[in-house]
Amino acid sequence: MPENVIYHNPRCSKSRAAMAILSDHQADVKVVEYQQDPPSVADLKDICRKLKLGPVDIIRTRDVKFRALHVDDLASMSDDDIYQLIVDHPEILQRPIVCYHGKAVIARPAEQVLTII
């Protein structure tokens, strides 16, 4: 995984806003459209380490796409199973996630990206 990356969904207004902030600040990041190019389990583990969060925290649990999966109890799943769930269903990943120089942030609101660039 590149050190500086944004996991981006071009249809998401928050993701587009984060991209604009990165561009305005001339932050050099690789753009990964994660629904077409999902992060690996290793990438997700690295993201969570940088965020200082667990894998459950990077899932959009209130999203209709997550609810459609009928996951009964995330709390009873192992971290590895949750990471694999995200790999298999990247649309449930929080967005946007920006990794920059060893730090990461879920840029919701988009201005959160300013805390790491």
Residues 6+ apart with CB under 8 A from 7: 32, 34, 39, 47, 93, 95, 96, 97, 98
- Judge whether 12 counts as a catalytic residue: yes
Catalytic hit among 1, 12, 41, 56 = 12
Per the DSSP assignment, residues forming a β-bridge with 31 are: 6
Distances (CA, A) of 67 to 2, 49, 70: 31, 26, 6
Token pair for 111: 């201005």
Question: Which residue numbers are catalytic?
Answer: 12
